[in-house]
A and B are shown apart, each in its own frame.
Chain A
Amino acid sequence: MLWKVKLKGGWPVVDVNSNGYTFGFAFVACVLASLLLAGANLSLKDLQDRNVKTDKLRSVLVAAGFGTSTTPAQEVEEWFKEDIKVKVLETSTGLAAKDLSADEYDPKKHPNYTLIYECIKADQECSILPVEGKGLWGKMRGYVAVGNDNNSILGLCFYDHIETPGLGAEITEPWFMENFKDNKKILKVEGDYSEANFKGVTLLKGVKASDKPKEQQAYYVDGISGATLTCNGVTEVMTTFLYENYGKYLSNRQRGIK
């Protein structure tokens, strides 16, 4: 026996401080807790996955300005039936992948490819590009929508990040995202997609975008106080990342090569 059993009125009296009982208690408690969590996770996984997927697609709409964070799931699906097409892009050439379909695409197996969205609805044409960058605590993933002139930014929406609430996490707040809807541009001179001409959008620290000269304001937005590292990550996304991954694509698109 692991612990001594004394009987008192027919019931065993257990010494809760004996080693045997301690081990037994720890084992039972751990098994119970893990069963509970595993059970909850298994039974709720489908629902959770669906929520995550819808949320990701919703952020595509938010970036392009077609929806808000409260757009119902059904409306989100509607958009992706007709108006928004998915495309597998080979980032090095900026062209659509020939022998890879969106269903087969797996980010782990195909690091040189990425899934982008193009809206083909009349007068609302734009491309919505997945972006990722380094925040303070981890990766930030989101979408940037670029207008039909392949130069102006329509919006930026992050759907996955672990930044500090109230500071870095403000990147998903309406006031911050609104900054990117205010006629921002990525090229110094329209039509030239060389690295030197690719300016992107920079988040400012200590100065306001509205204090910059008028012709410069298209390339700057206000940063977030107390979230310098998060802002640096967003700047990186809106400058280097955009150029390296989508410079060729935007250039091709501008010249009519699809």
Chain B
Amino acid sequence: MSFSKSKEGQVLSKPLIGANPIMVQTLGVCSALAVTVQLKPAIVMSLCLTVVLTMSNVIMACIRNFIPGKIRIITYMLVISTLVALADQILKAYVYDISKTLSVFVGLIITNCIVMGRAEAFAMTNTPKMALLDGLGNGAGYSIVLLAVAFFRELFGSGKLLGTKVVPQALYDMGYVDNGLLMLAPGAFFIIGILIWVSNSLYKGER
């Protein structure tokens, strides 16, 4: 049995398209709107979210048998926010430049439904190893959508990619205009909607 068919492989690969956190589970849409105006913050956010999600998943799976059912949600919050705040402190002390760009994302990560959603739906009932794979898989699934949305928004919204102009001046001279709507949150809704439509029709029978 190949890795991709094994249970581990499934846990890792399913969230990429088939059970994508944004497109199928519709979690984490808030941050997909907020940080996708440009590619750079989207990349940073994707990395942060993947790290936090994986760590929280593993910790939750390790202590899953000790968490009282009545206060499990608040326990997720405690673990996630402690992790994020701790990381923020360390960044501020040792790599201040990076922390200046990251600090604004901290609040967004704590409130990101994917982290809590995966803790509740997966980590609480699985081993730490599987939770690790699930965290990585969902982090990657989230990143794919975020990067795709940011790519289209930056390209058609401001004619740039990663801050560099890519739409040639000649095109502007011919009357081409950047689409200002894509710079605003509704623009992201359209793109996410189109992505969901495309993925639904491509992978119809597979769920």
Contacts and interface: CB of A to CB of B under 8 A. Distances in A.
Contacts of A165: 34-35, 37, 41, 101, 104-105
B86 A51 contact: no
B92 interface: yes
Contacts of A21: 68
A36 interface: yes
B86 to A, nearest CB: 6
Interface string A147-190: 00000000000000010111101000101000000000000000
A167 B82 contact: no
A122 interface: no
A61 to B, nearest CB: 15
Contact of B82 (A22, A33, A51): A33
A139 B79 CA distance: 30
B201 interface: no
A25 B71 contact: yes
Contact of B89 (A17, A44, A55, A167): A44
Interface in A49-84: 51-52, 54-55, 69-70
B37 A41 contact: no
Given A26-B71, A48-B92, A166-B41, A40 B65 contact: no
A37 B89 contact: yes
Contacts of A162: 104
A226 interface: yes
3 closest Cβ pairs, A-B complex:
A166-B37, A51-B96, A44-B93
A37 B85 contact: yes
Contact of A22 (B38, B65, B71, B78): B71
Interface string B2-38: 0000000000000000000000000000000011111
Interface residues of B, number: 35
27 contacts: A16-B66, A16-B68, A16-B69, A17-B70, A22-B68, A25-B67, A25-B68, A25-B71, A29-B78, A36-B86, A37-B89, A40-B90, A44-B89, A44-B93, A48-B93, A51-B92, A51-B96, A55-B100, A70-B97, A162-B104, A164-B34, A165-B34, A165-B101, A166-B34, A166-B38, A225-B180, A226-B37
B47 interface: no
B11 to A, nearest CB: 26
A37 B34 CA distance: 28
B176 interface: no
B94 interface: yes
Interface in B91-124: 92-94, 96-97, 100-101, 104-105
Contacts of B89: 37, 40-41, 44, 48
Interface in B119-143: none
A194 B37 CA distance: 42
A22 B104 contact: no
Given A25-B66, A225-B180, 16 more contacts: A16-B65, A16-B69, A17-B68, A17-B69, A25-B68, A26-B74, A40-B86, A48-B96, A51-B93, A51-B96, A54-B96, A164-B34, A165-B35, A166-B34, A166-B38, A167-B183
B71 A169 contact: no
A30 interface: yes
Contacts of B82: 33, 36-37
B62 interface: no
Nearest to B184: A226
A52 B99 CA distance: 11
